[in-house]
């Protein structure tokens, strides 16, 4: 059966927020790159962190994936801007799926966004071992971190 996308998905898909790249980034940038084994879609999330208060001051994404994955990452970037790392690390894919009214078959697309932000935070921690670390566990469904080199730096948000 043909599925119609919810208007919120279409809005984020047509006007994705915070598309872009911070390049390799200095120490205050964390990069997360995750892939969904089921469909091969790939998402890159980058966060810029103010080390004074562990707050995300800027965020960019690039997603090679379906409309739901693009919408999930776009919404995620809106959500995390201004959050502390601890708050951002607590975001669950179910919140994203609920906001975007994703159908069950598209839940893994929102999972990509949860894994993407966690991956970005853990990359930031790796670069800043002295930062106050927050526990990123919880889902048990972490997707494999893939090589940053596999994603062209200047690729468009959607393929
Ligand atoms: Fe795989 Fe959406 S179909 S991320």
Which of 67, 11, 69, 68 is CA-nearest to residue 45?
Answer: 69
Ligand 1 atom with minimal separation from the 68 CA: 2
Query: What average pLDDT does the chain have?
Result: 86
With bands split at pLDDT 50, 70 and 90, how would you rate the model's confidence at 132? confident
* Ligand 1 contacts CB of residue 33 (under 6 A): no
Q: Tell me, yes or no, if 101 is annotated catalytic.
A: no
ipTM of the complex: 0.98
> How would you label 94-120 residue by residue, b for 16+ Cβ within 10 Å and e otherwise?
ebbbebbebeeebebbbbbbbbbbbbb
- As given in the structure block, the two tokens for residue 147 are 């090589």
For residue range 13-40, what is the model confidence (pLDDT) as tens digits?
999 999 999 988 899 999 999 998 889 9
Which of 12, 13, 18, 29 is CA-nearest to residue 148?
Answer: 29
Q: Tell me, yes or no, if 109 is annotated catalytic.
A: yes
Query: Which one of 6, 67, 106 would you pick to mutate in the ligand 1 pocket, going by the greatest count of ligand atoms within 8 A of its CB?
Result: 106
Cβ atoms 127, 40 nearer than 8 A: no
> Where is pLDDT greater, at 18 or 145?
18
Residues 125-143, mean pLDDT to the nearest whole number: 74
- Give me the catalytic one of 39, 101, 141, 148: 39
* Model pLDDT, residue 36: 87
- As given in the structure block, the two tokens for residue 10 are 């279409």
For residue range 44-89, what is the model confidence (pLDDT) as tens digits?
999 999 999 999 999 999 999 999 999 999 999 999 999 999 999 9
- Does residue 154 register a pLDDT over 90? no
């Amino acid at each position: 059966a043909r599925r119609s996308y919810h208007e919120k998905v279409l809005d984020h898909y047509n006007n994705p927020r915070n598309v872009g790249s911070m390049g390799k980034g200095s120490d205050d940038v964390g990069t997360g790159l995750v892939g969904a084994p089921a469909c091969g879609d790939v998402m890159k999330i980058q966060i810029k962190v103010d080390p004074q208060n562990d707050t995300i001051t800027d965020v960019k994404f690039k997603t090679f994936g379906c409309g739901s994955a693009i919408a999930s990452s776009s919404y995620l970037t809106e959500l995390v801007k201004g959050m502390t790392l601890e708050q951002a690390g607590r975001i669950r894919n179910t919140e994203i799926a609920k906001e975007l009214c994703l159908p069950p078959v598209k839940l893994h697309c929102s999972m990509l966004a949860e894994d993407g932000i966690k991956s970005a935070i853990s990359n930031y921690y790796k670069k800043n071992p002295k930062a106050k670390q927050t526990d990123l566990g919880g889902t048990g469904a972490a997707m494999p971190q893939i090589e940053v080199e596999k994603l062209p730096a200047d690729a468009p948000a959607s393929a």
